[in-house]
A and B are shown apart, each in its own frame.
Chain A
């Protein structure tokens, strides 16, 4: 079966959704991501949906599930790149995606993840002041 690739970058997992997602593909992504977070101990997941032309209640539910599931596994999920027309439509559809973190683009999404995960730099010690 076709799968959406999950890339690993250090403590993070990156997913780019590039296709008109089939229901089965979306469900498989949910399972694959759960397994990968558990296996790698990844602390952050970035999902780029800039190629998605619609988000309906089905995809919305998958996105909510992924983000809820990642919290249980002590990771954060950020959704990036939602097209403006998709965002406008979501509001009217009534889909609020509670608890789902979003950012404008990959760069801002990574910045948000880094803040959330707050990995201490090497050589840092506990009583270092914040800067």
Chain B
């Protein structure tokens, strides 16, 4: 099994690189095409939030295993402004910018695990996982 790795997320090329890495590692552990597509889509949403709202940060890709079950965890971290109202941010359709407001709520639906920790003035950490 490959190790954890942390990739920078500062611009749109980084978002594309992270998506490719998640796709190849997801396929490697045997996720189905649909599950890989869901995880890569969640990655794209969260990575873009990190770049656009978080002012840049990192994503850590972690292999998971629980007996024969395998999975992949993605941790997005930034030291940006943080989110004052998490419930609002997680509402379908809410955006503080010009987006569709689907990134966070959609990523939560696309993954098996979802956790968000955000402190105003300190940053945001979003963790998702997909299991085989």
Question: CB within 8 Å of B: which residues of A?
Answer: 20, 22-24, 53-58, 60-61, 83, 85-86, 88-89, 92-95
Instruction: Check B45 for interface membership: any CB of A closer than 8 A.
Output: yes
Q: A95 touching B34 by the CB < 8 A rule?
A: no
Binds A, one of B2-10, B55-63, B100-108, B116-124: B100-108
Q: B37 touching A57 by the CB < 8 A rule?
A: no
Question: CB within 8 Å of A: which residues of B?
Answer: 12-13, 15-16, 19-20, 23, 33-34, 36-38, 40-41, 44-45, 48, 92, 99-100, 102-103, 105-106, 109-110
Query: Which of A53, A58, A93 is close to B109, meaning CB atoms less than 8 Å apart?
Result: A93
**Which secondary structure dominates chain A's binding surface?**
helix
Q: Which residue of B lies closest to A91 (CB)?
A: B109
Q: Known contacts A23-B48, A88-B37; can you find 11 more A-B pairs with CB under 8 A? A: A23-B12, A24-B12, A56-B44, A56-B103, A57-B103, A83-B37, A85-B33, A86-B37, A88-B34, A93-B45, A93-B110
Q: A56 touching B38 by the CB < 8 A rule?
A: no
* Distance, CA A56 to CA B45, complexed state (A): 7
25 A-B interface contacts by CB (under 8 A) = A20-B19, A22-B12, A22-B13, A22-B16, A23-B12, A53-B23, A54-B37, A54-B40, A55-B41, A57-B45, A57-B103, A57-B106, A60-B100, A61-B99, A61-B100, A88-B37, A89-B34, A92-B38, A92-B106, A93-B45, A93-B102, A93-B106, A94-B105, A94-B109, A95-B100
Least Cβ–Cβ distance between A21 and chain B, in angstroms? 9
